A and B are shown apart, each in its own frame.
Chain A
Amino acid sequence: MQQIINFLIKNKHSLLFILLLFLSLIFTIQSHSYHRSKFVSSTNFISGGMYGWQHAVSDYFSLKEENKRLLQENELLHNQLSALGIDSLSSKFIDTISFDKPYTFTKARIIKNDYSKLDNYILINKGEKDSIFADMGVITDKGIVGIIENTSKNYSRVISILNSNSRINAGLKKSNQYGSLIWDGKDPNIVQLETVPRQAILKEGDTIITHGRSTIFPRGIGVGTIINYTLDQNKSYYLIDVKLFNDMTDIGFVYTIKNRDAEEIKSLEKLKYE
């Protein structure tokens, strides 16, 4: 017994080192598996607050750009309204209750955006207080951004499509074939769409959209356009390079998507497996 204690005292630095290293390795491994990295996260009060404060200052530098983007989106929406024959004056009362679609959109501001690592996360300034919860989709007016992964009272962490853990269903606009979006970590504006069956007819420049096969994104949110495609080794699936509509290095405001029917759909899916 005496010897064990002596050994512990003699090697206390090495043992402490091994303990700390082990601890940090656990955090690292957790962060590499989806939905597990709850412990070390920037959604907490200190880092979230600091990023919010920092963004309150740096926001002013991108106001002009942001204005231009809003005007463009407004223009698009106005055009769509007039194409539908609705005049913006005659339909002043669009309340969310009478929407027959189950989706509600909430705007949020990005206060931290990463794109230079292999696993990137985005922090937004809305949280549980604004009824934002895990597994909600995040988009901009141009296309998809990611999925909410972790929330606190005032902030939420988004797992960006530029993350090796992210798998988002998307497919071709002109047909119903679909695959999952992954990222190889090279170019922040190009993601890969895999497991699209070889029966699909592809052309460079084809549009990729979300297919609404999960409860996260509704059908028809833009993703990007095909710039290159190859068949994989077994010649059964395509591997497609997709150029994103969003410039992931330059996004300011986003919308989160809440699906009111998500619970219902999930409870049905659960039945299937039991």
Chain B
Amino acid sequence: MNRDTALHIGRFIILILVQVMILNHINFLGFLNPYIYIIFILLAPININKSLFLLVSFLLGLTIDMFGDSGGVHAAACTVIAFFRPVALSSVFGLSYEFQTVKLGNVSFGERLAYVTLMVLTHHVVLFSLEIFNFSHILLIAKKTLFSSLFSIVVIMLVLVVFRRNDS
């Protein structure tokens, strides 16, 4: 086990702990919680084995579900964004993704924001559609998706800036 694998496993555990112990209880304005555990999926290595990545993402979501008593909604949302991550990566970074030279630590702020926004929006749309699971509440789904996404994006960008790795 090399240093990188240990880093990712540590990140997996710490993100779950922070999410379920602190962030799930924020309830800003009564209903807003930031979901930052998807940083794990955002920062996973570009050249990771795809099947392994899907399985780990599913496991990440399922763990959050277990703590939050939410059935399988996080698992579904995580699996979806893990599957569509290559699409998001190539549409945002274009050529540099094709050559696998992207390092999230040293891309421009705009590109990073676009990538995070794309992933968070996809995740939250799936999450809240499944959590509410009722088309008569479609306005509630839209409201929750929009505000939670804003909150999540801001927090995730802050976390990425604060915990930036300096070894490039």
Q: A residues touching B (Cβ–Cβ < 8 Å)?
A: 12-13, 16-17, 20-21, 23-32, 37, 40-42, 44, 46-47, 50-51, 54, 114-119, 121, 123, 157, 164, 185, 188, 249
Q: Is the CB of A26 within 8 A of B21?
A: no
Task: Find the B residue at minimum CB distance from A42.
Answer: B69
Q: Is the CB of A28 within 8 A of B130?
A: yes
Q: CB-CB contacts of B122-141 with A at 8 A, as 1s and 0s?
A: 00000000111110010010
Across-interface contacts of A46 in B (CB, < 8 A) = 66
Judged by a CB distance under 8 angstroms, whether B94 is at the interface is no
Q: Is the CB of A42 within 8 A of B68?
A: yes
Judged by a CB distance under 8 angstroms, whether B153 is at the interface is no
Judged by a CB distance under 8 angstroms, whether B50 is at the interface is yes
Which of B67, B75, B131 contacts A117 (CB under 8 A)? B131
Q: Is the CB of B66 within 8 A of A21?
A: no
Interface residues of B in 77-133 (CB under 8 A from A): 79-80, 83, 130-133
Q: Is the CB of B75 within 8 A of A24?
A: yes
A116/B31 contact (C-beta < 8 A), A21-B79, A23-B72, A27-B65 known:
yes
In the complex, what's the smallest C-beta–C-beta distance from A20 to chain B, in angstroms? 5
Q: Is the CB of A12 within 8 A of B51?
A: yes
In the complex, what's the smallest C-beta–C-beta distance from A19 to chain B, in angstroms? 9
Q: Is the CB of A27 within 8 A of B75?
A: yes
How many A-B pairs have beta carbons closer than 8 Å: the answer is 106
Q: How far is the CA of A119 from the CA of B69 in the complex (A)?
A: 9
Interface centre among A23, A50, A117, A249 (most CB of B within 10 A): A117
In the complex, what's the smallest C-beta–C-beta distance from B73 to chain A, in angstroms? 5
Classify chain B: how many residues form its interface, as a range: 35 or more
Judged by a CB distance under 8 angstroms, whether B33 is at the interface is yes
Across-interface contacts of A24 in B (CB, < 8 A) = 58, 61-62, 72-73, 75-76, 79
Q: How far is the CA of A30 from the CA of B72 in the complex (A)?
A: 9
Q: Is the CB of A28 within 8 A of B140?
A: no
Q: How far is the CA of A260 from the CA of B55 in the complex (A)?
A: 47
Q: Is the CB of A21 within 8 A of B131?
A: no
In the complex, what's the smallest C-beta–C-beta distance from A161 to chain B, in angstroms? 15
Q: Is the CB of B27 within 8 A of A20?
A: no
Across-interface contacts of A30 in B (CB, < 8 A) = 71-72
In the complex, what's the smallest C-beta–C-beta distance from B82 to chain A, in angstroms? 8
Q: Is the CB of A17 within 8 A of B83?
A: yes
Which of A16, A26, A40 contacts B66 (CB under 8 A)? A40
Q: How far is the CA of A26 from the CA of B65 in the complex (A)?
A: 13
Report the 5 A-B pairs with minimum CB-CB distance, sorted nearest first: A31-B71, A27-B72, A24-B72, A24-B75, A24-B76
Across-interface contacts of A12 in B (CB, < 8 A) = 51
Given contact pairs A27-B65, A32-B133, A116-B33, enumerate 9 new A-B contacts (beta carbons under 8 Å). Answer: A20-B58, A24-B72, A24-B73, A25-B76, A37-B69, A47-B20, A118-B140, A121-B69, A249-B27
Q: Is the CB of B72 within 8 A of A40?
A: yes
